Amino acid sequence: MPSPWSPRREVSAQTSRLLIERAHEELVAGNDGDRRMRDVRPLVQESWRRSLAGLVGAEALPPLDLASAELDEYRRMHPLAGVMEMIRALLLPGEVSDSGVVVAVGDAAGRLLWVEGDHRILTLTGDMGFVAGANWSEAAVGTSAPGTALELDSSVQISGAEHFNRLVQPWSCTAVPVHDPESRRILGVIDVTGGEEVVSPQAQLLVDATARAIEGELLVARLRARAEPPARPARRLAPKPEATRATLRVLGRDKAQLEVAGEDSETITDIGPRHAELLLMLATHRQGLSAERLGELVYGDADGSAAVTLRSEMVRLRKVLEKTAPALVPQSRPYRLMIDLETDAQQVLSLLDRGAHRVALSAYRGDVLPDSTAPGVEEFRDAVRTALREALMAEASVDVLLTFADTAAGSEDEALLRLCLKMLPPRSPRRAGLVARLERLEA
């Protein structure tokens, strides 16, 4: 089946784009009364002003609201999970990897849950944080089709320079809210992102029709469920314990920071170097570790001679956690954590897996526990740094690579600098600086 997003014959819109870009610059600078604002659609003007009032940055990256584990569970329970195959069939028929567009489905808060489509465009849009788990509400990133559609509860098209966020301005998008077929509350949003072809009238008709078809399918499934014989009453279960989310921040820190959030509370605790090493090893070995193996990873003890030291340190760690995060107190035989402990380093790896290179680089605050000499930490540190470098060099845009080249991890990477030089246009003013840096490294 041919793609409904086949490129159409383009009519030059350079003048219109330039006028909108200038109006955007004036608005961001505080000159919202500039006459050039008359060149911008009222819907976009109003959204820009809401974005300014909400202190949204004009080049802000979207927050990642849902980490991998949370995303999988939330996505599985979301009302739109059961109609994803229908959405794919209607908006991504044929060969998905060459469709020319990205289709995203988000929740009512603007958090993207599924982002699928053309592989090349997924790579490019991932650089600006258009990935599953990211918050694309108007309050987070300003004017965009999914966020503004949810804000207005209406089908919306945003073209190129009409986006409030400059990082998003190379793209155009059409989005429409999806409603509960009976209560009419918003369940989520469907968005199609790509080139100018996705903001045509035909594109809007297709996305609107998809949303209505989805609402109809949800109603049919609900009526079918009601017609089935009632299930036997479920056995009363004990109340579930309070959910606990824990994150260990180890990037660019000598001492780690432990953040523990329950349903009604949140605590942040500084963790000393040795305890940070122990928690990091337990977080990255969720199946558990024997005392011998944990001692080897933390103390470099291959013959088990540090067993007494390890037991004493684990007693001290338990006492610290009993006061601040009881749910994280490790069990023994093997040593293991009873709830998942995320780390900011693993979140960077998750962002790389989703293609969010620019967001991953922004989240990379430095090496994992840089002063630690524990063998397990050194191995994990090298793995994170290597994964970041290889992912960026394989797929990131030249802008992201140049940003990486300005960090401590990339500043003396000759291969990285040469790749940046190769990707830059011949007349780019940034070439001279790269050549000078390469010459210093080779001297």
pLDDT level of residue 348 (50, 70, 90 thresholds): very high
Tokens of 267: 């605590």
| Per-residue pLDDT, 96 | 74
> What SS3 class is residue 343?
strand
pLDDT at residue 10, rounded to an integer? 46
* Spatial separation of the C-alpha atoms in residues 257 and 325, rounded to whole Å: 12
CA distance 264 to 87: 36
CA–CA separation, 212 vs 338, rounded Å?
44
Measured CA to CA, the distance from residue 328 to residue 9 in angstroms comes to: 59
Label residue 160 left, alpha or beta by phi (over 0 means left) and psi (-120 to 50 means alpha). left
**Tens-digit pLDDT profile for residues 52-106:** 999 898 888 899 888 877 898 899 999 999 999 999 999 998 777 778 899 999 9
Which of 215, 214, 208, 167 is closest to 191 using CA atoms?
208
Task: Please determine, for residue 6, whether its predicted confidence score (pLDDT) is greater than 70.
Answer: no
Class of domain 245-342: mainly alpha
3 pLDDT tier (thresholds 50, 70, 90): low
Strands 245-249 and 341-343: parallel
- Reported as a single tens digit per residue, the pLDDT across 300-329 is 876 666 778 899 999 999 999 998 888 899
Is there a contact between 286 and 330 (Cβ–Cβ < 8 Å)?
Answer: no
Question: Residues in the chain, how many?
Answer: 443
Q: How far apart, in whole angstroms, are the C-alpha atoms of residue 332 and residue 311?
A: 10
Selecting from 3.90.1150.10, 3.50.50.60, 3.30.70.1290, 3.30.450.40, what CATH number does the domain 54-222 have? 3.30.450.40
Average pLDDT of the chain is 88
Distances in Å between the Cα of 224 and the Cα atoms of 13, 115, 212, 243, 346 are: 49, 29, 18, 33, 42
The tens digit of pLDDT for each residue in 100-126 reads: 899 999 999 999 999 999 988 998 899
CA torsion 405-409-412-415 (nearest 10°) is: -70
Predicted confidence (pLDDT) per residue in 408-440, tens digit: 888 899 999 999 999 999 889 999 999 999 999
Task: Give percent of the chain above pLDDT 90.
Answer: 61
Helix axes 291-299, 375-395, angle to 10 degrees: 70
CB atoms within 10 A of CB 220: 11
Burial, 407: exposed, middle or buried (Cβ in 10 Å; 0-12, 13-18, 19+)? middle
Predicted confidence band of residue 228 (pLDDT cuts 50, 70, 90): confident
Task: Classify residue 199 as left (phi > 0), alpha (psi -120 to 50) or beta.
Answer: alpha
Residue 174's CB is within 10 A of a number of other CB atoms, namely 27
Residue 167 contacts residue 128 (beta carbons within 8 Å): yes
Between CA 412 and CA 408 the distance in angstroms is 8
Using a pLDDT cut of 70, give the percent of the chain over it: 91
What is the per-residue pLDDT for 241?
A: 47
pLDDT, one tens digit per residue, over 362-389 is 899 999 999 999 999 999 999 999 999 9
Report the 10 Å Cβ neighbour count for 198. 29
Interhelix angle 375-395/344-353, nearest 10 degrees: 30
CB 199 within 8 A of CB 191: no
pLDDT digits (tens, 9 = 90+) for 168-198: 999 999 999 999 999 999 999 999 999 999 9
Residues facing residue 156 across a β-bridge: 175
Cis peptide bond N-terminal to 230, omega within 30? no
Q: Give the phi and the psi of residue 144 in degrees, each rounded to 5.
A: -155, 160
pLDDT of residue 9: 44
Cβ–Cβ under 8 Å, residues 298 and 374: yes
Longest CA span, the chain: 80
Helix, strand, or coil here: 191?
strand
pTM: 0.74
The single-letter code of the amino acid at 134 is: A
Radius of gyration of the chain (CA): 25
CA distance 178 to 188: 5
Contact partners, residue 249, CB within 8 Å, separation at least 6: 256, 257, 258, 259, 343, 344
Other CB atoms within a 10 A radius of the CB of residue 54 amount to 13
Distance CA 156, CA 162 (A): 12
